[in-house]
Amino acid sequence: MYWRGYGEVWGEGWLNGQSRLIGESVGPRVPPKAFIESYKFPWGEVSEASAVEKGPGRPPHWEMVFWWTRKPLISARAIIAGCLLPEDISPRAFLRGIGIGGKSKAAHNNPPLYRFDEVELLDPFAGFGSIPLEAMRLGLKATAVELLPTAYVFLKAVLEYPAKYGRRLVEDVERWGEWVTERLREDPLIRQLYDDDVAVYIGSWEVKCPNCGRWTPLVGNWWLARVKGEKGYEKLAWMEPFMEGDEVKIRVVDLNRELGNNAVKNATVSGLKVLIASKEFRVPESNIEARREKAVCLLCHQPIMQVDPRTGRHYTEIKNLLREVRERLEGYVKYAIKTYNRSLEQDSITSLARQRLLVKVKVKNNDLEFEPCTQNDQEKLELARKEVEKILREGDPDIPREA
């Protein structure tokens, strides 16, 4: 196992005053008592770093592939290292060595101060490969086993190809990525669908309210940005719905724009309440509770709950219903989305749900700017949907189809 490269360079004496020669081999044996078994193991710091890694604000390339049970890399790294290092290692040196707390990083090619030779790691259920990846980065020989075909392909990309091709793979991905990007920029449909200055769109489902018959968005979280730095909040922004006729419109509340960055730094945020210099702001409450299969219409403020798919009748109370009716009931939101999916295949089916764009996010001068989406943005979404339908009908071999 090779150290240096994750944290600051450790000076001699990092093992409780006992210096080791650079590159000294400990051999394949495991220490009598590993650091992970010690009461000094920094579980709190590792857990906190893992939560940060799995939280928001990650680099864009992290979102390219979503794997449901991906383990945080920092936790895998800490567990492997903790199993192999002796119990008398300095916790501070350990945290720096795995990249927690140190602001500067040492070169990857530095000679290791501590390593294990001939140590191998086997992960028989490797999934996305977090554990064997960190084993490889620490210098171990890793073997990953996985039965799922999709996960196996990911393991080839995460573990095998980078180790096999190294820098050449980086250069090839960069070159071909630029080629694909240029071809997309030349495509007239892509130019029509995407604005150059928009980084991402934020949207939600809308359902037709069974009480008033109007369309209401379903929003589980109205926050757009709640970014906290070392000296207070750096960004506070959220969406607010308002009614215009029979439609729900969206406005953006950006406190950095309204009050300035210095005022935002001194904000106190408690749940959905924001307090700045004795002025109070309220973020709207969610109008959908997925687990309870309950929503609230933003126009008539009535609950949206259960529906009988056979009759289409909506129910908010089910205790006194006949048993056979209760057994047929389904959450209205789930049922509405089903009608949307069926309507894509059968024109005769009327959809009770539709997709709605709410806010578009732009990046300017390393800062986020939020703007409500327009009808033009919504029309682009509809055009994109129709183009995808067309590609699926034509049987494009590059588009996967689930059976």
Query: Same structural domain for residues 22 and 144?
Result: yes
pLDDT digits (tens, 9 = 90+) for 149-192: 999 999 999 999 999 999 999 999 999 999 999 999 999 999 99
Query: Same structural domain for residues 131 and 248?
Result: no
141-144 vs 120-123, strand pairing mode:
parallel
Closest CA relative to residue 313, chosen from 326, 301, 300, 302: 326
213 within a domain of the structure (yes/no): no
Query: Same structural domain for residues 24 and 100?
Result: yes
Domain-ending residue, one of 285, 306, 341: 285
Residue 21 banded pLDDT, cuts 50, 70, 90: very low
Query: Same structural domain for residues 51 and 111?
Result: yes
Query: For 311-338, what is the mean pLDDT?
Result: 92
Domain-ending residue, one of 235, 259, 285: 285
pLDDT digits (tens, 9 = 90+) for 208-230: 999 999 999 999 999 999 988 88
Query: Same structural domain for residues 296 and 277?
Result: no
Query: Same structural domain for residues 36 and 147?
Result: yes
Percent of the chain with pLDDT over 90: 60
207 or 68, which is more confident: 207
335 within a domain of the structure (yes/no): yes
For the chain, what is the domain count?
Answer: 3
pLDDT of residue 105: 61
What is the value of pTM for the model shown? 0.68
Complete DSSP assignment for 209-224: -TTT--EEEE-S--EE
Query: Same structural domain for residues 272 and 301?
Result: no
Closest CA relative to residue 330, chosen from 288, 293, 289, 290: 293
369 within a domain of the structure (yes/no): yes
Sheet holding 268-270, edge to edge: 268-270, 273-276, 279-282
3 within a domain of the structure (yes/no): no
314-315 vs 120-123, strand pairing mode:
unpaired
pLDDT at 355 > cutoff 70: yes
**Alpha helices, DSSP H, located in 255-329:** 255-259, 261-265, 323-328
Query: Same structural domain for residues 46 and 102?
Result: yes
Instruction: Count CB-CB contacts under 10 A for residue 297.
Output: 23
pLDDT of residue 262: 87
pLDDT of residue 42: 96
Question: Could you tell me the residue range of the domain that residue 267 belongs to?
Answer: 221-285
CA distance 140 to 76: 13
Q: 28-37, 91-100, 102-111, 370-379: which range is least confident on average?
A: 102-111
5 within a domain of the structure (yes/no): no
Domain-ending residue, one of 251, 270, 285: 285
State in Å, rounded, how far the first CA of the chain is from the last one.
45
pLDDT of residue 1: 40
183 within a domain of the structure (yes/no): no
Query: For 141-151, what is the mean pLDDT?
Result: 93
Query: Same structural domain for residues 36 and 104?
Result: yes
Residue 69 banded pLDDT, cuts 50, 70, 90: confident
CA distance 217 to 296: 9
pLDDT digits (tens, 9 = 90+) for 378-387: 999 999 999 9
123 within a domain of the structure (yes/no): yes
Query: Same structural domain for residues 25 and 106?
Result: yes
177 within a domain of the structure (yes/no): no
Query: For 338-355, what is the mean pLDDT?
Result: 89
Among all chains, which residue has been given the structure tokens 């590059």? 398
Query: Same structural domain for residues 105 and 232?
Result: no
75 or 70, which is more confident: 75
Query: Same structural domain for residues 38 and 107?
Result: yes
pLDDT at 19 > cutoff 50: no
Helix (H) or strand (E) holding 204: strand 198-208
